[in-house]
Structure 1
Amino acid sequence: MATMKAVVVEETGGVDKLLYKDLPFPEAHEGTVVIKNHFIGINYIDTYHRTGLYPLPLPFVLGRESAGEVSAVGPDVKDFKVGDRVVYIGGSTYSEYTEAKVGAVEKITNDVSYETAAAIGIQALTAWTLVRESYPVKKGDHILIHAAAGGVGLLLCQMCRYLGATVIGTVSTAEKAALARENGADYVINYTTEDVVAKVNEITGGLGCQGVLDGVGKSTWDISLQCARRLGSVISFGNASGVVPPISIATLAQKNLKIMRPTLFNYMTSREESQKWWGEVFELLAKGVIKTHIYKIYDLADAKQSHIDIESRKTTGKLLLKP
């Protein structure tokens, strides 16, 4: 039986639970294609799956996105052929080959590299749905972006600048502050040395921000609520520091705040929705509105190190795996 290399989780836990091993070579079935992965995107959600914070049935191949070429198509598949260049968002991507449902696969044009496609996938789609749907950013808004030098954070800075907002980013180092500024942050607050709430009040004349985009979670949640202005929106989309603790809904009455906890996949439940959002992201890329920042490309065999690095908060931009 033909085999391939993959990163498998047989029990949840630390990085030692990432097993680099041989698995049977996947086959295409009805409604699926097999993709030869050229680059694989690493996302913070991968660490949640590994630890069991977001449980998946065990055992599983880790990963949610990849870019590569179609190597086999199912008997009923008409939209794709062997050799098509594609990007995929779904599951089981930390592997040399992935069987993918056709509804989760998009073709990429020849001017978009596999590397770029894998780097913009989940993070750019997440960022764009956040600023168009979760909180539709408007010209003149003040927007607070936590972890502004991270993969999603940098894209949010670029997008909010494009939409005409005043962008306030939080970071932990001077290097990250410089990167956030390069990508559209008008103001950058180093939360290790500055009081975020005080600085936001100073910048906004005491009013606060119309939108707060928080992918950090537990450690920033109270700050996010304090930094939102009356009638503002707090969008919580990640748990990098831990899960947001339970809140009393009456807390929101102090400023008539709205809160939301979106997830990308609920914005892309149909082929039509998927094509809409992918189309808009590819357009932003073509117009130069967004650009990728690839921090490092790891060999698939070094997936453990990639998780150590992304959880250390020392990385910026996007991390990729190469089979």
Structure 2
Amino acid sequence: MSVTIKDVAKEVGVAPSTVSRTLRDHPSISRETKEKVRKAMDKLGYVPNVSAQNLANKHVNTIGAILPVIGSKERKSNPFYLEIITAMNEEASQQKVTLSIASGKTQQELLENVQLMYRQKRVDGFIMLYVEEDDMVLDYLIENKVPFTMIGQPYKFHNEASCVDNDNQLLGWTATQHLVDKGHERIAFVTNNNHENFFRERFFGYQKGMMDNQLTAYPAMPLITPDDFIALDDFLKEEQPTACIAIDDMFALRLIQMLNLSGFKVPDDISVISFNNSIFTSLLHPYITSIDVNATQLGKTAVQEFLLQLKEPDAIKKRVIIPHTLIENETVLNRKN
């Protein structure tokens, strides 16, 4: 038979409400009484019913982290999400809250998991780790006034969304300008992701960087299907770009491999620059020149902003920009030398 609050109260000689307040560390209960109650709990083996407490309290002190639908092997292996979640977990621990993961194999399954977590009051709200166009999860959060913060910039609901992000247009511009400063003029933008908002923003920044330098921007070159590989090979031979901007470090490794198979050396023939400054930049030589998006700060700030929003739900939603840093390694050739 399990021990109840009434059993603890009887052992100490106090009212059950005193035990309940002690569990919540209520200031109205003296330190001496709290000590007696806690010793009685230990003696009797009382285990608090966390679910019942959550239902009684306004907040459950748990944040749901919503992962994107993991549709490809590359996305499953992307260290960006692990780094973000690790940082969020560290910050949550500092703030005396916990983190719970919401995931799904499909968008519908992800939505159902998010709905269940919130309906059962297992979380106070969510931090979205991705941005998709026409996203049913985001629609649900907005329609039901669920507290949330997003890492990234949404396609809609700009005034209703609290966001933590890099300036992805500036990232794309910075990568382009770095290549131009090294003497490159024929610069291509290659990607395996052409639907998420950060791709569009970075590509727009590339276009602006080319325009600012009176250079011709190429259309984005996807590298997703077998036909794309053939098209990129033809493009490289016809246009002879001297540099490529890759959408992230993990994809940059694939791009460098593809360039090598096509007979191009990196950086001697074609330079490569990418984004994230993840572990993939230093797995193989040449080490990849990359723009550090400061994933750790993204994750920690997202937790801080969510908790601020939870405390002041009527506060104006804002977009917090995390600065980036260019990390020069070995994949960009200085053609001015």
Same fold, judged at TM 0.5 (above): no
TM-score range, shorter chain: 0.3 to 0.5
Structure with more strand by fraction: 1
Structure with more helix by fraction: 2
TM (normalized to structure 2)?
0.36
Q: Compare CA radii of gyration and give the structure with the larger one.
A: 2
